[in-house]
A = this chain, B = another copy of it.
Amino acid sequence: MEKQRPSGSSDYEYDAVFLGGGGAGNVGGTYLRIHGGKALIVDSDDHLGGKCPKNACYIHHLLYDCAVELDFSRQFAGKLWWPKFDKRVAILPIINLFKAKREKTYKNIQLNAKARGVDYILKQKAEIITPQLVQVGKRKIRTKAVVVATGARPNIPSIPGIHLKGVLSHASFIEELDYEPERVLVVGASKIGAPYASFFNACGCETTIVDQVPFFRILDHEVRQYVIREMTDRGLNLFQETEVVEIFGKDRVESVHLRKNNKDWIINVDTVFMATGMIPNSEIVQHLGVNLGPNSEIKVNNRMETNVPHVYAAGDVIGFPMEQWKARKTSIIASKNILGLEAEFAMGLIPDQLHTTYEVCWVGLTEKQAKERFKHTRILKMGAIDLEKPGITPMAERMMLMGHLYPEKTGFQKLIYDAGSGKVLGLHHVGYGAKDSFTYLAYLIERGLTVDQLSEMTELFMDSGRFIQMARLAVPEKKMLDE
């Protein structure tokens, strides 16, 4: 089927050259092509798809999956059919499994691009000569626009000893790990640090997490309390508001100097895992006079245009939140505008998650935020948060066995609403099985979802989230405001 090209684009070899073929470049390029444009993706790495299949989303979710199963094996050891389980589980075979399949993932992504008629060049660096002329190797390519989608890299602070062998980040972990970690320090209780720490812990490594600030400040206070309790219960060592002063070792990491409130101590570790944030790969546009923000992120308007005409940017390189959905959505916005379809990006309400053995999900306000902003905030809760109350309910998918063996570990959920309008202000969940639903709940809350509407929904019972049943028994508005 011959696609019609948008008018005017015939002056150029491509409608857009995407610099970087990750979640932004690949999706934006595919979108552009499906809608009749001509797209070239250039990536200096050896595959399409970027970091997500290389060392981020895919491996992270594989490790979470392993962490949960390992946690079950430890929690349930000796119960029912579960064998005793106190072994140190080897990490390298998991990584090797991942790497063995990764090539196929790359191939599939590339086959999809080919099938859709998206051109791509791998293992070559692109240089933007002018916003409409890109050089790749010896080839000069005329393009209507460029979309900078070069992503981000771990932001590693310059601590003494940081270059020792055994200091890893998620980006180097897959490629460089050639030994079995036994004692791990995770630096940064971030969205990357927390799940890696839970994974190391589930594998049986002696695991410590430190952070300069209090842990998980983004979470609702009861969610945070629950998560910290359960991490501690699993033997993780947690040091909040603690600084890494120096990393010691001869050939490789041997110990780390920590400091908290002027108290100093040293812990022996063989691995330091840095999860201290990300920094955008924006160097590629420095010579063009493109405006950058304080974290080196490329500044764009809501059409994904930089201050330099014909130069767009999308994905992690434009800054936080560095999430797959933002990469996909912003690159599609860029493609639409390049195609002459007017489109603007709106951040909207963001559903979010933190893996801490449990899947922790939330959207909207925390209890504290809600109470600050609304006079008649009401809270509905279910689950294992209040250990003194007997009202412990299993929360369905992947929590039923846990709930029957350890009711206090069955997770919990919280629904926050405004009694005045009935509007849902925030939803919080610790457990399993509810994650996907937060995508749709975010969409609904942004459009004014009320507890009445929630209460009238048809739930797939037993629902892990339980928000609907909670909403059904919400005390009616009039009564609340009379209290």
Contacts and interface: CB of A to CB of B under 8 A. Distances in A.
A31 B473 contact: yes
Interface string A425-467: 0000000111111111111100000000101111111111100
Q: Is the interface of A mostly helix, strand, loop or mixed?
A: helix
A70 B81 contact: yes
A404 B324 contact: no
How many copies of this protein are present in the complex?
2
Given A323-B461, A391-B111, A397-B359, A441 B443 contact: no
Interface stretch (A100-108, A129-137, A256-264): A100-108
A138 interface: no
Contacts of A324: 459, 461-462
A400 interface: yes
A93 interface: yes
Interface in A338-394: 348-353, 359, 361, 390-394
A153 interface: no
Interface in A75-113: 80-81, 83, 87, 89-90, 93-94, 97-98, 101, 104-105, 107-108, 111-112
Contact of A440 (B407, B444, B462): B444
Contacts of A58: 394, 400, 462
Given A64-B400, A108-B393, A401-B62, A460 B473 contact: no
A165 to B, nearest CB: 25
Counting chain B CB atoms within 10 Å of each CB, the highest count among A324, A350, A483 belongs to A324
A396 B62 CA distance: 8
A472 interface: yes
Nearest to A97: B404
B435 A391 contact: no
A400 B65 contact: yes
Interface in A21-62: 27, 30-31, 34-36, 57-58, 61-62
Interface in A390-415: 390-394, 396-401, 404-405, 407
Contacts of A476: 34-35
Given A34-B476, A350-B458, 10 more contacts: A1-B483, A61-B400, A66-B80, A104-B407, A348-B458, A433-B435, A434-B436, A436-B436, A436-B460, A437-B437
11 contacts: A61-B400, A65-B397, A68-B398, A73-B81, A81-B89, A108-B391, A433-B435, A434-B436, A436-B436, A437-B439, A443-B453
